[in-house]
Amino acid sequence: MKQLAAHYLLFFPRYLRFAWLVLYQQWFLKRELLNDINVFVAGSDATITAKDINKITNYYALGVPAVLGTIFSRLRGRRLSLRERLALTYLGAITGLFDDLFDRWHIDPSRIYVFMDNPASIKPENDFEQLFLHWYEARALSYIADKEAFREACTPVFAAQKQSMLQLRQHETDVERIKEITYFKGGVSLLFYRSALDMQADSAEQEALYEAGALLQLGNDIFDVYKDLRSGVMTLVTETTDIRLLRKEFISQMHRTIHLFYKLNRPVSDINSAVHILMAGVSRCLVCLDQLQRLQDSGDGVFRPHAYSRKQLICDMEKPINIFRMLRHHWLVVPASIAAKEKIK
């Protein structure tokens, strides 16, 4: 009960702290990336689009340091150094570009592997590739202290990206295999970012972060259901006929992750702080699941994603009502998870 009371007392200060972290990273992005972006866009051959810039500045280069970086720093009990923030910022900046090397440009996987393993040997064919290589080689790699650990973490990320090609609808991959691919991609991606920090994670932290990455990847797919449908990508969301079952899977993965967090040999206050940051993202996903559930319930009780419109499937988290719903979920989910942490298997 004392832990729950402390949660309620600290909820809003922690949320304000999280909001400040996001605002700080926005300022940091303008300071560090703005000049590079302006230079490349000004002389671009049109391969770098406004959509690319939006993904960089409003999603990956913002969320990776502000959200994931904060979770990492809380679990190890030490704030991000400037070098670490720079490394995570530039790794975040290339995340969407890396995905597009596969999904948009359809570059041969063997060449993409060289992009990651030996970027100095690659001659860029357009400004898109040049920007990727510039941010990866000249920026991100220069700020990473343990380059050997980082390169080891790159290999499974590349393998996960290749496996995700099996999610294209023409492959007719079964649901269990889709789940394996989804969780593997999310898990190794989080460990990839974590490897950029100076102090490497021990095996227990790696296990916890792997499950957290799987959870976040499933959450990402929940938000991307409309985009994935249009692209012919099969996910656990596009293939389900019952959102209740998908919610059960999501909650089960959330519990598994929290259980592993609390098994770590860390101060409980640090774990609580990391859980609060993680649950901010989880709460957003629960709002989206609620919206999809309402769609299912408004019909014949079967979730039919292909039958719904873009407006029905896309969850706009900038709407005040959805922000309120997110806060409500966060208010309810976090203390319940803390209270149940010993019972979670």
- pLDDT tens digits for range 115-155: 999 999 999 999 999 999 999 999 999 999 999 999 999 99
Distances in whole angstroms, Cα of residue 153 to Cα of each of 35, 149, 256, 263: 29, 6, 23, 24
> How many whole angstroms separate alpha carbon 24 and alpha carbon 321?
25
Helix 147-163 with 109-117: angle, nearest 10 deg: 160
E strand residue ranges, the chain: none
- Residue 3 pLDDT > 70: no
Q: Residue 158's pLDDT is what?
A: 93
**Any idea which of 4-18, 25-39, 267-281, 310-324 has the lowest mean pLDDT?**
4-18
307-325 b/e (C-beta count within 10 Å ≥ 16 → b) = ebeeeebbbeeeeeebeeb
> How many whole angstroms separate alpha carbon 187 and alpha carbon 192?
9
3-state class (DSSP) for residue 52 = helix
Among candidate residues 160, 135, 139, 137, the one with its CA nearest the CA of residue 53 = 135
Distance of CA 154 to the CA centre of its chain: 16
Instruction: Report the percent of the chain where pLDDT is more than 90.
Output: 76
Q: What is the mean pLDDT of residues 235-252?
A: 97
Q: What is the mean pLDDT of residues 292-319?
A: 97
pTM, full prediction: 0.92
Its sign, for the CA torsion 124, 125, 127, 128, is negative
- pLDDT tens digits for range 50-69: 888 998 999 999 999 999 99
**Any idea which of 39-43, 163-167, 202-206, 319-323 has the lowest mean pLDDT?**
39-43
pLDDT band at residue 8 under the 50/70/90 scheme: low
* Cα angle 147, 124, 44; round to 5: 115
342 vs 156, residue with greater confidence = 156
Q: Residue 239's pLDDT is what?
A: 97
Helix 243-263 with 320-340: angle, nearest 10 deg: 50
pLDDT band at residue 9 under the 50/70/90 scheme: low
Name beta bridge partners: 186.
Answer: none
> How many whole angstroms separate alpha carbon 261 and alpha carbon 205?
8
End-to-end CA distance of the chain: 21
**Mean pLDDT over all residues of the chain?**
91
Domains in the chain, CATH or no CATH each: 2-340 (1.10.600)
Q: Residue 339's pLDDT is what?
A: 65
